[in-house]
């Protein structure tokens, strides 16, 4: 499998603090962690870490930050021949302040909005993933490789993402983007809002399979005309930054490996949740074996051919992260699929009591009784 990831690459600095960021106050930062970042960059990093032949297409400046980013890619195995250099705009950077008490973050991003000038990719990718930051390069790649599965990770409700959504086969929106495109607000006490937002997005992007990440509430998707929510895994949260990128990358990987939609969402949810157990968006990306082992512990062994595929492709060791650092002994919430459409009883995890049915709503509701989805925990374990 070959993957082409198009969009943003930047140099990310993460600083943990034990206080709230406020105006007119000097904050003394004693600890910092520096690594590459950017939505497309993080997805490319995950793919390479999981053993996939991966190419990144981004614009960087002619500066030290660009050199650090390229080194980061090369150490994990991401191929960088489609990175271009801008001599009049600097490399993008971000500063992430993580509150170690509340686990909330404040992100400052300095972006030059530089985009690629060349669209001649000399590979035949099986998957094309765009973060919506480079409209022209993405459209050129989607057009040139019509047989490739294409994915849009929609992180902004802007015209570029709106245009790219017409081409994408799979779209992952975060909650803010979904609400921005629909001019509607999600209310978890009213399942009608979830169904209505999904239906309105399907009207705009009728050709695509749509998934919406909901932060600490998990992920929303539709299957067999039923809108469902999959809660995240309960873990010891350290930093939620980049969990949405991990979700998008893991989801695309799973679809590329032939998993069905529900299993792909489950894999992505597990990966995103585990990624919140360490600082930084990139160094926190879990190993494929961590995700597959967790999945198997809940759902049983996978098909032997899928296991073999994962074993033979995961051949690159992340030089920055020891996979044993993940605390797998933290209290975990069950992964129960919660339907917000009629007549569905969420499936309990093995060795657990049955989950009670959800009071639910018709797929195109006008008025609906309030609903609180079951199986959803309140940990801020996934940010998108």
pLDDT-based confidence at residue 247 (cuts at 50, 70, 90): very high
pLDDT tops 50 at residue 372: no
* Beta strand spans in the chain (E): 2-6, 10-17, 33-37, 53-57, 59-61, 84-86, 93-99, 105-110, 127-130, 149-154, 170-174, 209-213, 219-223, 226-230, 338-339
pLDDT top residue among 359 and 194: 194
Q: How far apart are CA 340 and CA 361, in angstroms?
A: 6
Domain membership flag for residue 357: no
Full DSSP string of 192-246? HHHHHHHHHHHHHSTTSEEEEE-GGG-EEEEETTEEEEEPPPP---S--TTHHHH
Sort strands 219-223 and 93-99 into parallel, antiparallel or unpaired: unpaired
Q: What are phi and psi of 120, to 5 degrees?
A: -95, 90
* Beta strand spans in 155-200 (E): 170-174
pLDDT top residue among 156 and 22: 156
Q: Are 213 and 174 in contact (CB under 8 A)?
A: yes
Domain membership flag for residue 364: no
Domain membership flag for residue 289: yes
pLDDT-based confidence at residue 250 (cuts at 50, 70, 90): very high
CB contact set of 359 (below 8 Å; sequence gap of 6+): 191, 369, 371
Q: Are 262 and 223 in contact (CB under 8 A)?
A: yes
pLDDT tops 80 at residue 114: yes
Domain membership flag for residue 365: no
pLDDT-based confidence at residue 104 (cuts at 50, 70, 90): confident
State which residues form the domain around 176. Answer: 2-17+32-318+327-339
Q: Report, as an integer, the average pLDDT of 214-220.
A: 92
Domain membership flag for residue 273: yes
Q: What is the dihedral of CA 267, 268, 273, 274, to 10 degrees?
A: 60
| CATH number of the domain encompassing residue 210 | 3.40.1190.20
Domain membership flag for residue 90: yes
Mean pLDDT score across all residues of the chain: 80
Domain membership flag for residue 59: yes
pLDDT digits over 48-102, tens only?
A: 999 999 999 999 999 999 999 999 999 999 999 999 999 999 999 988 888 888 7
Sort strands 84-86 and 93-99 into parallel, antiparallel or unpaired: unpaired
pLDDT tops 80 at residue 33: yes
Q: In total, how many domains does the chain have?
A: 1
Domain membership flag for residue 212: yes
């Amino acid at each position: 499998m070959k993957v082409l990831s198009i969009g943003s690459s930047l140099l990310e600095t993460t600083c943990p603090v034990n206080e709230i960021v406020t105006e007119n106050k000097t904050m003394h930062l004693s600890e910092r962690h520096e690594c590459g970042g950017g939505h497309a960059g993080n997805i490319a990093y995950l793919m390479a870490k999981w053993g996939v032949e991966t190419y990144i297409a981004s614009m960087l400046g002619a500066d030290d930050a660009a050199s650090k980013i390229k080194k980061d890619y090369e150490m994990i195995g991401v191929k960088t021949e489609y990175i271009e250099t801008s001599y009049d705009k600097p490399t993008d950077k971000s500063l992430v302040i993580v509150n170690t008490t509340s686990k909330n973050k404040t992100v400052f991003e300095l972006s030059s909005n530089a985009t690629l000038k060349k669209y001649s990719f000399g590979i035949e990718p099986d998957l094309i993933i765009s973060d919506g930051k480079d409209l022209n390069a993405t459209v050129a790649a989607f057009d040139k490789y019509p047989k490739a599965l294409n994915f849009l990770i929609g992180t902004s409700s802007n015209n570029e993402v709106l245009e790219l959504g017409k081409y994408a086969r799979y779209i992952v929106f975060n909650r803010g983007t979904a609400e921005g495109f629909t001019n509607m607000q999600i209310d978890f006490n009213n399942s009608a809002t979830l169904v209505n937002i999904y239906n309105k997005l399907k009207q705009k992007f009728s050709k695509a399979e749509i998934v919406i990440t909901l932060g600490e509430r998990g992920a929303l998707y539709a299957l067999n005309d039923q809108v469902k929510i999959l809660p995240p895994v309960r873990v010891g949260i350290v930093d939620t930054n980049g969990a949405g990128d991990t979700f998008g990358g893991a989801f695309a990987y799973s679809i590329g490996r032939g998993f069905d939609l529900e299993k792909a969402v489950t894999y992505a949810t597990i990966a995103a949740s585990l990624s919140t157990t360490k600082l930084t968006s990139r160094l926190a990306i879990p190993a494929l074996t961590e995700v597959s082992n967790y999945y198997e512990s809940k759902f049983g062994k996978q098909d032997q051919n899928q296991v073999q595929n994962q074993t033979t492709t995961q051949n690159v060791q992340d030089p920055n992260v020891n996979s044993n650092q993940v605390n797998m002994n933290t209290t975990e919430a069950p992964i129960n699929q919660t339907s917000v459409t009629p007549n569905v009883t969420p499936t309990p995890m093995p060795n657990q009591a049955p989950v009670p049915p959800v009071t639910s709503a018709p797929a195109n509701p006008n008025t609906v009784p309030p609903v609180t989805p079951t199986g959803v925990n309140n940990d801020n374990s996934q940010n998108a």
